[in-house]
Each structure stands twice: as C-alpha cells, then as structure tokens.
Amino acid sequence: MNVIQTKSLTKTYNGKGGISDVTLSIGEGIVYGFLGPNGSGKSTFVRTLLGLLQPTSGEGYILGEPIGTIKSREQVGYLPELFRYPEWLTGKQLLQSHAELCKIPVRSRNKRIEEVIELVGMTGRENGKISGFSKGMSQRIGLACAILNDPKVVFLDEPTSALDPIGRKDVRDLMVYLRDQGKTVFLNSHLLYEVESVCDHVSIVHQGDMIVQGPWRELLMTETKVEVVTDLPIGTNLPAFVTQYQKVNEELTRTRWEIQLENESDIPKIIQYLSTNGTAIYEVKPIIPHLEDVFLYWVNQKKENAYVDNQ
Amino acid sequence: MWTISKLTFKEMISKRIFIITIVMTLIFLALYGTAIYFAGKDTPGGGANMIQGPELILMQQFVASQLLGVGLYFSSFIIALLAILSSVTSISGEISSHQIDTWLMRPISRAQFVMGKFVGLSLLMISYAVGLFFSITALHQGIGSEWMELDISLIQMLKAVSVFVIQPFVLISFGLLVSTRMTTLNAGIVSIVLYGAAFIGGFIEQFGSLAEKTTLVNIGIIMSLIFPVDSIYRKMTVLLFDTTDNPLSFAQGGMFTSISTPSNLMVWYALLYGVLIVLFTIYRFNKRDV
C-alpha cells in the first residue's frame, strides 16, 4: 500500500520558487529521505502534503486520502524544521493539548505521553516550561509530539538540526525503531551523512525540481568505481568500458589507481585485461559510494544538462 | 475546537500584558472609586449657594450620569484596546513563528481553529467586560452617596451589559479577520485606526444631533455601519440611563452617554456584523497558505 503518493504535485509562489512536478509513491515501513540543499523546496513539499500550503497543481494522497483533508492528517505526525511551541506551556501540557487534538482516549492519554517522553529522552524534564528549554530539548519535545498519536507516517523536517552528536544518534535510533514498527518516516534533510545509515530510498531535489528517486545504493549503479594497486603504470590504451581513470598515489613499486567503469560486470574484465598485459595486481577494491557521492553526481548531472539545454 | 479555545484562553491569562491589565484595572477602579466618593461627599445636596428645586435635580442627574458615563467610556476603551491587541496577534503571530503548523497539521479543520480562537478570546474579553461594567456601576451607585446615585434598575443594567459586551465581540471578530490576512503590526494599525474612526464618527454624530445637522448625523451613522462599535456604546448608555418612567432621563445626555438614540436594529446589525466577519474569516483562512 502506498502511504504517500503524489502525481505531478507542484507548489510555487506566484510562479516562482517552491517545488514542481513531484511524482512519487512511498510504501510502508521505510525511511524515505527527501534530500536537497537549503532552499530546494523540501519543506514546501512537506507543508503542501500536510495541507499547510495549497498546491498549485497536481494531486497528493496520504494513506489514500487526498491531501488537505482532515482524514489525511489523522494518522500523521510532523516535526517542522522551524519548530516553535507555546512557551508558556510545559512539555507535558503541550503533549496533553496535542493528545486532545488527536483524540487519544483519556484513559490511555497519560500512559502514551509518558511513553513518548521516554522515547525522546525527556524523562524528568517534561514538567519544565518550554520557555526554559534549550533548542535541543525543544526539538526532542517536538519529536515526542510528532509520534504521540502513534502515526503510520511521520514527517521529520531536519530533525537533527539542533541536536548534539548524542541527540543525533538518538534520532537515528528512533527512526530505525519507527521503521521496525512498520511506520513510514519521511525525512527531509540536507545532512547526507546523517541520513545515509537510516534511509533506504531517497529523492534528490534541487532548485525546486526532483532530479532522481529510488533506493540510493542503486542510484550510482550507472557507474562503478574500483581502486586497483599495481606494480606498473596501467597504460593509456585501456578498453572502452573504462570511462575514466586516475593515479591516486605512488609508493616505490606500488601504484594506486582509481578506475571508473561503465558497470559492475566490467570489474572482472579489467582484472583480466591488466593481467594479460603483464601488470601485477596486488589489490582490487570496489569503491562503495556514499550518499553524498550519489547526491553530488545527480546534482552535477542536472547542472550539465541545464548547461547543454542553454547552449 | 474546545482545545484551541482552552489554549487561547490560557495563553491570554499567562501573558504579562494580561496581568498588567488586571493590575491597571484595579488601580483605575480604585481611582474611580475615590473620585466618585469625594464627588458625592463634597457636593452637598443643598445649601445657601446651591441652586434649589428642579435645576438642582437636573444638574445632579447630568453630573451623576456623566461620571458614570466617563467610567464606562474609559472601561469600553480599555476593553477595546485589549480586544484588538489580543485578537490581531492571535493568528498572525502564530503564522509568522510557524507555531500554527503543529496545530493545523492535526486532524482539525481551519474553521475549528478560527472558531476556537474566537470563542477563547470572546469568553475572556466578555468576562472582563462584564466584570468591569458591574465594578464601575457598583462603585458609582454604592459609594457615590445619595448625590451620585441614579435610578437604575437591575433589568436596565442587564440590558445594558448585554449590549456592552457586543463591542469586544465585534472587535475580536474583526481583529481575527485582519490577523489572518496581515502581519500583526499591520493588523493592529488597521484595527486601531478603524476603532478611532468609529470613535470620531460617534462624536460627530453626537455633535450633529445636538446642533441638529443631519449631514453630521449621517456621517456618524455611516461610520457606525462600517465599524459598529461606538453606536453600540451609545445604545448601551441609552439602555442604562433612559427609562420611560423617569421624566428626567433626558438630562442624562452628554459626551460620555448619548444624545441621539441608536435603534435596536443597530444592535442586531452589530451582532450580524460580528457573525458574518467570523464566517468570512473562516472562508478566507481556508484558502490561504500558512
């Protein structure tokens, strides 16, 4: 079942900015990364899905309900990027107010509030006034709000922006916990190293356009990189499947090369080619890309295409 | 809706401005009570230099009604300012801070949100207005001695207070409308300017009635139709002071009471105005981005 589905969903401000033509389908039980630099339209997209912004065109559904309807928000949690909560309330009072709005039954309300307070690591501090909370504590109480109604889908917009390394790890663990419980986490972030370990699927957005989407480890399968250590220079007349190569370093009788191939099946071929040409191979190591590499690759691709189009 | 109302009510009470207002109101009541006490005490009911007979009674009625009128007029002014300041910030402030996001993403409609704000603010302001109205009348009638006392029945008071509270009702509905369309500062400026215009319009109408200038009266009426606040205050004073069985009630007209008599239709118009403004606010707020 698609938890989130959009068809050419567009939100622009007087024809400018925002985000355009986003079509995606997100299933249940995954952490979905919606990645892009600041100002790329990530928050606009989430706020449109939540009915806070009116879409310019296109359609969107959350758990099968059209966005903007009350039903579409019944099983949803949200931590905004610019989290601000009434400062005159205590953390617990804030959660009680949200519990009322979510119509959590009175008899299970306090138990649930205690559960989420513990989950976000705020036990013992929940009775403090929000005005006295640090940014990190506010973000934690915001996280508690987001998961209070045990939602099927949670939107987290830059959830670690105010947290220290321990807090960031806690949030990553929380996302994994939610995923393991079958929840869908829609994660907006520009901190790629932060989300790499928890995200399975990603969309990459740049300047209001969605460039690519899919399981992020597969998004760089269009090219494969290997690191090879040889005794000799590998020469200049390499086979056509080698798209690029460069010397990384040279130490006495060993030379380290980074070779870019057309695809993964070319790895045995390059080993065979080098061996038949009398090159001794000491090490071959596929270079596993990081999410940042995937991101930069696709953003650069977009820039190149835009440049070609302009020409 | 009730959760939002409750939050709005509690938020207002928790604000420093509300505590300051309560303290200042108590100071105002103390000063007013002192003034009324000495006005009653130092003005003898008769004497060698005093005018005797019907003139004295007419003067007593005029001075007493003016002193009660000035107390109620100032009360109405405080209530108006508090109603404007609390309503213009209530939605625009939450939009600019994005605090509204976490409320509106919950399974509630925007209509429920606006109504929640409206009910919360109205309950608070109407309670405050009722409290202030009865405090002023009680001080005036209670400690002003015989010279200050006016012949006002409980029914008159109840009728007057029920019209008195229409003013915050109208101001809050208008304040919420501008709060959903503008920034807090702009919304505040628009509301205060309109309130000021209604205030001036009221005076022009009073002056027009006194000088029998129809054009001036009409200007006042038009202003009352645009922003029915001052006319509601005037209607309240008519209901409070004017009695069919009191032949001296005509002596109670003045700047802080009413020379002309706004019709009952004006009361219904003001109520309808408030309701329509709230409905229009919901309609506009439903369509906007937050």
pLDDT in tens, A125-146: 989 999 999 888 888 999 999 9
Of A52, A70, A76, the CB nearest to B108: A70
In this structure, is residue A307 part of a structural domain?
Answer: no
- CB of B8 closer than 8 Å to CB of B121: yes
Amino acid at position A98, single letter: H
The CATH number covering residue A155 comes to: 3.40.50.300
What ipTM was estimated for this complex? 0.80
Contact A88 B14 (CB under 8 A): yes
What's the domain range around B278?
2-44+52-287
Interface test with A, best of B98, B102, B290 (most A CBs within 10 A): B102
Of A70, A78, A103, the CB nearest to B102: A78
Chain B residues with CB-CB distance to A76 below 8 A: 105
Contact A86 B102 (CB under 8 A): no
Chain B residues with CB-CB distance to A82 below 8 A: 97-98, 101
Q: What is the 3-state secondary structure (H, E, C) of B69-113?
A: HHHHHHHHHHHHHHHHHHHHHHCHHHHHHCHHHHHHCCCCCHHHH
The CATH number covering residue A232 comes to: 3.30.70
Choice between B218 and A75, residue whose per-residue pLDDT is larger:
A75
pTM of the model: 0.83
Chain B residues with CB-CB distance to A88 below 8 A: 10-11, 14-15
Do the strands A4-13 and A57-62 form a parallel or antiparallel pair, or are they unpaired? antiparallel
How many structural domains is chain B composed of?
Answer: 1
| Distance of alpha carbon A87 from alpha carbon A134, whole angstroms | 12
Interface size A-B, in CB pairs within 8 Å, comes to 63
Chain B residues with CB-CB distance to A85 below 8 A: 99, 102
**Domain match, A108 and A184 both:** yes
Above 80 in pLDDT, residue A288?
no
Instruction: Count CB-CB contacts under 10 A for residue B37.
Output: 16
Of A52, A85, A103, the CB nearest to B104: A52
How many structural domains is chain A composed of?
Answer: 2
Q: Which of A84-88, A103-107, A161-165, B32-36 has the lowest mean pLDDT?
A: A161-165
The pLDDT value recorded for residue B36 is 84
pLDDT in tens, A233-258: 777 778 888 888 888 888 878 899 99
pLDDT mean across residues, chain B: 85
Above 80 in pLDDT, residue A304?
no
**Domain match, A136 and A282 both:** no
Using pLDDT thresholds of 50, 70 and 90, give the confidence band for residue A76: very high
**Domain match, A146 and A282 both:** no
Q: By three-state DSSP, how is residue B263 classified? A: coil
On whether any CB of chain A is under 8 Å from the CB of B108, the answer is yes
What's the domain range around A250?
224-287
